[in-house]
Structure 1
């Protein structure tokens, strides 16, 4: 097809009314029934009414911008053909096409950071057994991280009002309580044992979903949780590091994090996950400071800090606290981002699978000795989680197919 190129200030007709030039006169091209909409800036070329530089579209044009969008999009592509109107649809992003890959990456980073945190955290408790103060440090480092991120605009701070604050306070209180009791358990017993007890979290989560949120949990899911309960019970009976403080603290942490997960999901309707966790950390920090000062403050001032510095030195003591706080914040941020992508029960199951990695690494790193019954009980609990995960995925898939039908 023959085409004509017009340069500089050439008038052109609206796209729906443009026609092919019917005649030539002294090298100029005219349009039949042409209706000018203004001039194109210098250097703007037109090929049969298609503008090659969409940024030069005049503001004075009476034609709606939507009419020109297809042609502008087509013109912006150097590989586009010469025929007008054959605009291409923008390609779908890789992660939009395969969202499970991005979700899997979130889970992987959540697991990886959590393993590092647990190892560093336990090493600190070996020479500085003050879980309330360490909990405050975890949250304090995270709050500083959030404030710096907001200051540079990564991410941009979301505004908060009284109504949103009312939603976040219960989440933050549950987060603070669960965090402190987890650290009390970590300081009192082996890391592997604490995570074995915390493998019961799906059971508490399912109970809260049905009896608090009113969601119906199928009987098959309840039955799949039975091996988890039995396995944890077996492991607890013969755990060499067992003590009631560690056991009860881990159970309280289970309940606290269950309610945190549920309330967080509700709060996400008004706030993105990154800002959500930032506000939760700030509120939780204020919740954790008073008990730390009351329960551990006198001991810390009297001999706690001096003993730790004498054992490892000031520099290592400070850097250990900083890094463990940073890893704590990052793994929880990833956990919150993951929660935004999945349902609370699925998140709880992923949380249990994460404990497999933590238990395994902690046994290798710290050389914890476990009895045969503890090993069998842990394996039964993990098997129960695997069955639960399969049934949960199958039920969700059936629901999606039902809605599609």
Structure 2
């Protein structure tokens, strides 16, 4: 998901403020503070970072001493005042001690799951060329995963009202259309070529922001998109697997995901990212089923399933569909979780590198032959996306700092 939504544990409103109230009879009391950045079923975050109690306790000796009376008051009578007064901060966990390693692991898993998904997805299309049905499987497996997670309380299901549903339906519809057309392109052309075309997505986002949302886009951002357009054009002219179905489908996917971003900004709620993505997946699945039945249903019943089972066997066919759906859901969820852990600039650069990894691995695994001009065009397009992502994230960071 590209919309940024906050998640994790509920806000800890019990930590008191360090502001002193007026003295009364020589005593000093503390005023309860309101939670910082509270969201429903979410944590306290400052610019995407969780504000943890352990960090407050260990920030400085003075803070620790100030908080001790409050911690003592919150302890049970059985513990006694002495033990409460000597209360120590909880041991620092692995996540707090090695944040860089944890963030690196998130990036690795995001890349790994995305690469595996793209490779397995293309292998399925080599013997089962039905992208509408496969798109339904992707979403269906993800929905089952979400329902099981809700059933065990990980996470607890957030309530949905009619107003939220109205906001999410356009987002889910655009998500469904973008996902299906991406898969149509994957089935029609090489994976590397589809990802090269999808590198144009920032161009459509900038155009939509400028002409639909009325936002002013700096000239530097428009100039950074020039190599993207040039690179994609160079790659398309000499791509050996080029066909119009794959090209047009990838372009429709770009437009769909652009509108998904626009509607996502209007549909921002207090719901955490895991629940939000689950609801979007459910709605998108409902949207995808009718076209799959109409476009591919008769062919599937006539010979589609039978041909696939004859080629690879029933067990492999079913397990391939299951795993590709699971990898699709998990890599999208990991992308959201990674975004929550890093600054926008870091995530933007990481997203560009992910596309490089996918293109590179797909060429190696499938042995796709590309011309010199296609290779140069792809490199120019990716470089343009990297420059655009860097500039856009830098502008957003400067705007955020100026508002503090």
TM over 0.5: yes
Conservation of the 8 A alpha-carbon contact between 1:11 and 1:36: yes
Q: Deviations over 1:83-113 (max 9, x none)?
A: 9979877788786799777655444322221
CA distance in 2, matches of 1:165, 1:287: 14
CA distance in 2, matches of 1:359, 1:3: 24
Conservation of the 8 A alpha-carbon contact between 1:188 and 1:246: yes
In 2 relative to 1, CA 6–105 (structure 1 residues): closer, same or farther, beyond 3 Å? Answer: closer
In 2 relative to 1, CA 59–282 (structure 1 residues): closer, same or farther, beyond 3 Å? Answer: closer
385-394 vs 310-319, which moves further: 385-394
Conservation of the 8 A alpha-carbon contact between 1:210 and 1:216: yes
TM-score of the pair, normalised by structure 2: 0.75
Q: Deviations over 1:219-257 (max 9, x none)?
A: 111111111111111001100000000000000111111
CA distance in 2, matches of 1:316, 1:335: 28
367-376 vs 221-230, which moves further: 221-230
In 2 relative to 1, CA 6–60 (structure 1 residues): closer, same or farther, beyond 3 Å? Answer: farther
Conservation of the 8 A alpha-carbon contact between 2:15 and 2:32: no
Unaligned runs of 5+ in 1: none
In 2 relative to 1, CA 70–174 (structure 1 residues): closer, same or farther, beyond 3 Å? Answer: same
Conservation of the 8 A alpha-carbon contact between 1:74 and 1:88: no
In 2 relative to 1, CA 97–265 (structure 1 residues): closer, same or farther, beyond 3 Å? Answer: farther
30-39 vs 113-122, which moves further: 30-39
318-327 vs 95-104, which moves further: 95-104
331-340 vs 285-294, which moves further: 331-340
2:28 corresponds to which residue?
A: 29
Conservation of the 8 A alpha-carbon contact between 1:12 and 1:49: no
In 2 relative to 1, CA 382–65 (structure 1 residues): closer, same or farther, beyond 3 Å? Answer: closer
Conservation of the 8 A alpha-carbon contact between 1:40 and 1:58: no
70-79 vs 351-360, which moves further: 70-79
Computed over aligned residues only, the root mean square deviation of the Cα atoms, in angstroms, reads 13.1
Conservation of the 8 A alpha-carbon contact between 1:268 and 1:340: no
In 2 relative to 1, CA 61–152 (structure 1 residues): closer, same or farther, beyond 3 Å? Answer: same
Conservation of the 8 A alpha-carbon contact between 2:132 and 2:292: yes
In 2 relative to 1, CA 157–234 (structure 1 residues): closer, same or farther, beyond 3 Å? Answer: same
2:51 corresponds to which residue?
A: 52
How far is 1:74 from its partner? Answer: 9.8
2:316 corresponds to which residue?
A: 316
Q: Deviations over 1:20-46 (max 9, x none)?
A: 9x9999999999999999999999999
In 2 relative to 1, CA 204–76 (structure 1 residues): closer, same or farther, beyond 3 Å? Answer: same
In our comparison, the structure showing a higher alpha carbon Rg is 1
